């Protein structure tokens, strides 16, 4: 198996309870983003920290060696693997939509 996929699987296995609960929230968010945005932001913060941590572990050895120019590509492949399994992870941190902000007032012409 490719190294970035091994690290992805290790991340999921080491933090099984976090990613299992995030998977349920992720699926609920995909069905109704407006309702679950705040909860995704709150719980997704921990997930993003874990993703960054394992990405740093993966790239740590390549950054200081002869293969430092490949470190960026390796990190990109790892992020693509995350986005393949959790496509809504890019929505973490978005501000919830305030429906009152986008109302149009009616004009009385009489």
pLDDT (tens digit per residue) in 40-51: 999 999 999 999
Q: In the structure encoding, which two tokens stand for residue 39, read together?
A: 């909860």
Mean pLDDT within 12-34 = 93
Q: What is the mean pLDDT of the chain?
A: 86
Kindly report the CA angle at 72 between 44 and 52, in degrees rounded to 5? 20
The DSSP element (H or E) to which 5 belongs, if any, is helix 3-14
Mean pLDDT within 4-21 = 94
Q: In the structure encoding, which two tokens stand for residue 70, read together?
A: 């490949």
pTM value > 0.75: yes
Whether the pLDDT of residue 66 is over 90: the answer is no
Q: In the structure encoding, which two tokens stand for residue 66, read together?
A: 């002869």
């Amino acid at each position: 198996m490719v190294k970035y996929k091994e690290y992805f699987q290790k991340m999921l296995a080491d933090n099984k309870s976090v990613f299992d609960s995030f998977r349920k929230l992720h699926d609920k968010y995909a069905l109704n983003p407006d309702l679950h945005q705040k909860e995704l932001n709150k719980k997704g913060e921990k997930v993003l920290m874990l993703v960054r941590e394992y990405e740093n572990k993966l790239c740590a050895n390549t950054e200081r060696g002869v293969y430092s120019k490949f470190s960026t590509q390796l990190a990109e492949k790892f992020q693509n693997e995350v986005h393949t399994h959790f496509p809504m992870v890019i929505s973490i941190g978005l501000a919830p939509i305030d429906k009152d902000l986008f109302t149009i007032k009616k004009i009385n012409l009489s």
